[in-house]
Amino acid sequence: MTTAPMPDFPSGFRWGVSTSAYQIEGAAGADGRGPSIWDTFAHSPGRIVDGSTGDEACDHYHRYAEDVALLAGLGVSAYRFSIAWPRVQPTGTGAANPAGLGFYERLVDGLLDRGVDPVATLFHWDLPQALEDAGGWLNRGTADRFAEYADLVAARLGDRVKLWITLNEPFIHMSLGHGMGVHAPGRMLLFDAFPVAHHQLLGHGLAVAALRARSTSPVAIANNYSPVRLAGDTDADRAAGVAYDALHNRLFTDPLLGQGYPEVPGLDSALIRAGDLDVIAAPVDVLGVNYYNPTSIRAAEEGSPLPFEIVPLTGYPRTAFDWPVAPDGLRDLLLQLRDRYGDRLPPIQVTESGCAYDDGPDADGRVHDPERIAYLAGHVRAVREAIDAGVEVTGYFVWSLLDNWEWAEGFTKRFGLVHVDYATQRRTPKSSYAWFRDQVVRP
Ligand code: FCB
């Protein structure tokens, strides 16, 4: 597929791809790794649509050298991966498991040898099960455990990781994992999940301090954002939009950028101890933005437990996940962040952007994914428009390098630039891989 020429980006702009540990590594029991909440959840009947688990996933743990070669072939300057906490600390506390850290050291050194910057996320949802048994993120102590884990990782890799990301999408971990029970650990607390927000943010702030003590590399957090589109124009619709925006877009960013918590249902101020907001507001060097789609909101029916109702966003093409393809939402979001936070906003890197389609090999074994090319072309252009409008955006990472295990959707959603045949673990670069290299990265 050909697209109109892609725009130029400032020199030094970071092009990358993202993955996460439980979604690709497999090797669930290897080298002393302990169980995480996702092992427990995936092995519970009925939780994952195709009944699969991440036990093997893409077997990246054993095939990482092949995957690093794919990254090098793509020409990207950065690779965002996550470190599995239960590989480093099998029960979430105590001394590091040297074999677990050894894997990430081999990966990081392999990336550096190929000229690819390692960008490490410390928590992409795979909490050690032993910590969950002690209350998980509902327990304030988990924030301290997280900082101890950050210290162990930084002690070993602090001289080589080029950008640290503390948490991935704490909003999704709170809402899907603890509010609605569709992700691990499967709790259904609705608005009583607020402690999970506060303790993740506290863990983030404590981890920032731990990382700074060991490493001079920049530190970030990767938040999920979804700009609100109103599906009605009454005052009640507008109030519903404000409520949803506070929950999804501001709960984890206002306090990080020193503005304290917005008004959200369930916020229990008794949890917030003196000094917590200062810890949380420790300056970060980069704001990671994960964007997939806007959310369409209208006023809730009377008697609803929620102060808003989410309705399908119409007027856009849709991915195989049934998510609307709305690159204008990414541009709007980047401008909104700049307008909302002004000078408090650090430079942004788009740490996830991508789409699922039902890609498979044709008779010649080639995988053509023109929809993904169109999707990425639109979103890359949206970033360029935001830069032209004065927003400082310094990087863009595609989700994902490989087709992988998509949480509650199991193996049914393919997000990769590279197709994976899960029966053989054969990797086949899709047409979007060559397009991204030749038209966007232009190494
Ligand atoms: C994000 C997650 C990532 C992946 C994509 C599709 O919310 O951070 O792991 O599942 O969605």
Ligand 1 midpoint to CA 386 (Å):
23
C-alpha span between 418 and 400 (Å, rounded): 8
Residue 433's pLDDT is 98
**Sequence-ordered list of residues with C-beta below 8 angstroms from that of 407, at least 6 positions apart, any chain:** 23, 38, 48, 183
Confidence of residue 2 (pLDDT cuts 50, 70, 90): low
* Count of domains forming the chain: 1
406 lines ligand 1 (CB under 6 A): yes
C-alpha span between 416 and 414 (Å, rounded): 6
Ligand 1 atom, smallest distance to 172 CA = 7
**Within-domain flag for 125:** yes
What would the pLDDT profile of 181-232 be if each residue is shown by its tens digit?
999 999 999 999 999 999 999 999 999 999 999 999 999 999 999 999 999 9
- Matching residue, tokens 């590399």: 217
Q: Summarize the confidence of residues 271-300 as an average pLDDT.
A: 98
**How many residues would you count in the chain?**
443
Ligand 1 atom, smallest distance to 415 CA = 6
Q: What is the DSSP string of 38-86?
A: HHHHHTSTTSSTTS--TTTTT-HHHHHHHHHHHHHHHT-SEEEEE--HH
Across 274-315, where does the E strand assignment appear? 286-291, 295-298, 309-311
Q: What is the DSSP string of 353-370?
A: ----------TTS----H
Helices (H), 301-408: 327-341, 370-388
Pocket test for ligand 1, best of 290, 357, 401 (most atoms within 8 A of CB): 290
Phi-psi map region of 175: left, alpha, beta (phi>0 left; psi -120 to 50 alpha): alpha
Pocket test for ligand 1, best of 406, 412, 417 (most atoms within 8 A of CB): 406
What would the pLDDT profile of 75-99 be if each residue is shown by its tens digit?
999 999 999 999 999 999 999 999 9
Could you tell me the pTM of the whole model? 0.98
Q: Summarize the confidence of residues 147-153 as an average pLDDT.
A: 99
**Within-domain flag for 357:** yes
C-alpha span between 432 and 18 (Å, rounded): 15
Bridge pairing between strands 426-429 and 418-421: antiparallel
Residue type, 386: A
415 lines ligand 1 (CB under 6 A): yes
How much of the chain, in percent, has pLDDT values that exceed 70? 100
Q: Which two tokens stand for residue 240?
A: 């519903």
Which structural domain range is residue 265 located in? 14-441
**Within-domain flag for 1:** no
Ligand 1 atom, smallest distance to 224 CA = 7
**Within-domain flag for 400:** yes
What would the pLDDT profile of 23-44 be if each residue is shown by its tens digit?
999 999 999 999 999 999 999 9
Ligand 1 midpoint to CA 223 (Å):
11
**Within-domain flag for 356:** yes
Bridge pairing between strands 309-311 and 295-298: antiparallel
126 lines ligand 1 (CB under 6 A): no
**Within-domain flag for 7:** no
C-alpha span between 58 and 124 (Å, rounded): 17
295 lines ligand 1 (CB under 6 A): no
**Within-domain flag for 260:** yes
Q: Summarize the confidence of residues 145-161 as an average pLDDT.
A: 99
| Active site positions, annotated | 169, 352
Mean pLDDT of the chain: 98
Ligand 1 midpoint to CA 292 (Å):
9
Ligand 1 midpoint to CA 413 (Å):
11
From residue 83, give the alpha-carbon distance in Å to each of 261, 277, 328, 386.
29, 27, 32, 31
20 lines ligand 1 (CB under 6 A): yes
Residue 227 burial (CB count, 10 A) = 22
Nearest to 145 by CA among 186, 192, 200: 200
171 lines ligand 1 (CB under 6 A): no
Residue 1's pLDDT is 55
CB 433 within 8 A of CB 74: yes
The CATH number of whichever domain residue 81 belongs to comes to 3.20.20.80
Ligand 1 midpoint to CA 302 (Å):
33
Residue 352 burial (CB count, 10 A) = 23
407 lines ligand 1 (CB under 6 A): yes
Confidence of residue 422 (pLDDT cuts 50, 70, 90): very high
Ligand 1 atom, smallest distance to 169 CA = 8
Ligand 1 midpoint to CA 171 (Å):
12
Pocket test for ligand 1, best of 49, 357, 407, 415 (most atoms within 8 A of CB): 407
Q: Summarize the confidence of residues 278-299 as an average pLDDT.
A: 98
Confidence of residue 143 (pLDDT cuts 50, 70, 90): very high
**Within-domain flag for 8:** no
Give me the helix-helix angle, 327-341 and 370-388, nearest 10°: 30
291 lines ligand 1 (CB under 6 A): no
Bridge pairing between strands 393-399 and 14-18: parallel
Residue 4's pLDDT is 86
Ligand 1 atom, smallest distance to 20 CA = 9
Ligand 1 midpoint to CA 273 (Å):
31
